[in-house]
Amino acid sequence: MRTISFTEATLEAMQEEMRRDPTVFLMGEDIAKQGGIFGQFKGLPQEFGFDRVRDTPISEAALVGAGVGAALTGCRPVVDMHFADFITCAMDEVVNQAAKLRYMFGEQCVVPMTLRAPDGITKSAGSQHSQALEGWFVHTPGLEVVVPADAEDAKGLLKAAIRSDNPTLYFEHKMLFPQKGPVPDDADFVIPIGKAKTVRDGKDVAIVTYGITVGRAIEAATLLEADGIDATVINLRTVWPLDYDAIVDAVARTHRVVVAHEAVRVGGVGAEIASFIGEHCFDELDAPVVRLGAAHVPVPFAPVLQEAMYPKAPMIADAARRLVRRQI
């Protein structure tokens, strides 16, 4: 194990996969000469050339469309979306093309494309640069959706996404890039898609979460410790295909669940998880499932407004505390 940043972890994943497979290439805006907004592509064109690490026009529809076309014809493209918000400019290509071709063409093809999408609330980026959009894509059959929570996930899930024969969206939170964490040395370290990780094992309440909110949940668990509450934290890692077994297991062990994410609460991944628990684990529950997510408004600019509208550690801890004390 070494301690490296999330950025470095994604870089290692790219390097290793590009060395391993000559059909892997990368394209996006400002990635080759500038090295990416977060430095996440620095040095790649120097090793792999500007043909395999391509700066592109600001043409998201073409980039994703061409990614699909290249994936259909023997390549394994990685397309950087610059900001996850801009996937909206390529929704046809993601939803009607990438997600559907394999099924509607009777499994004649695979679409091994990875979309890298820096997402989430960051310092006053405002409504059009702050969204967490994974829920849309969970709702679209044919796509895989992974959301790394730390450096280890960053590397293992990116390698898995690139190796997957299904189109995979990789949502990497902008605030995570500089964060450091332990990452295995093994060059073949891959985190399987569809498998959650139990980050913390407690008996009183389970916090089921993913992405940047995992760190907030761990913080919440520390706050809860002071109150004598022992929390489980589940890092889903993949939000589709969801690791329902891990969820069932967590419910069986704790009987109380908080589902938390930074994406809008209404119609979010948390809603799927909560309703699944209601349908399948009803008799295991000692209290209703609590969902935490961003308020149903665009992300505002003013720091005080921005910080008011999405769940952080104290809010998660409060929800868990009330669940355990049967105040919900």
**193 near other proteins, rule: CB under 8 A:** yes
Residue 107 CB, nearest distance to other proteins (Å)? 5
Nearer to other proteins, 68 or 260 (CB): 68
Structure tokens at 100: 């559907």
**56 near other proteins, rule: CB under 8 A:** yes
**16 near other proteins, rule: CB under 8 A:** no
Residue 86 CB, nearest distance to other proteins (Å)? 13
Q: Contact region for other proteins (CB under 8 A) — 4-12, 39-47, 63-71, 216-224? A: 63-71
Phi, psi at 23, each rounded to 5°: -85, -5
129 catalytic, yes or no?
A: yes
Q: Contact region for other proteins (CB under 8 A) — 57-65, 249-257, 259-267, 291-299? A: 57-65
Residues in the chain: 328
Residue 1 CB, nearest distance to other proteins (Å)? 26
Residue 128 CB, nearest distance to other proteins (Å)? 18
Residue 314 CB, nearest distance to other proteins (Å)? 34
Structure tokens at 327: 């105040």
Distance of CA 289 to the CA centre of its chain: 22
**121 near other proteins, rule: CB under 8 A:** no
Q: Which of helix, strand or coil describes residue 34?
A: coil
Q: Is the dihedral of CA 183, 187, 193, 195 positive or negative?
A: negative
Q: Contact region for other proteins (CB under 8 A) — 174-182, 222-230, 242-250, 255-263? A: 242-250
Nearer to other proteins, 104 or 252 (CB): 104
**28 near other proteins, rule: CB under 8 A:** no
Q: How far is the C-alpha of 227 from the C-alpha of 216, rounded, in Å?
A: 17
Q: How far is the C-alpha of 194 from the C-alpha of 239, rounded, in Å?
A: 7
Q: Containing H/E element for 292?
A: strand 290-294
Bridge partners of residue 255, in order along the sequence: none
DSSP letter at 311? Answer: -
Among 61, 252, 266, 305, binds other proteins (CB under 8 A): 61
Tally DSSP H helices, then E strands, for the chain.
12, 14
List residues with catalytic annotation. 129
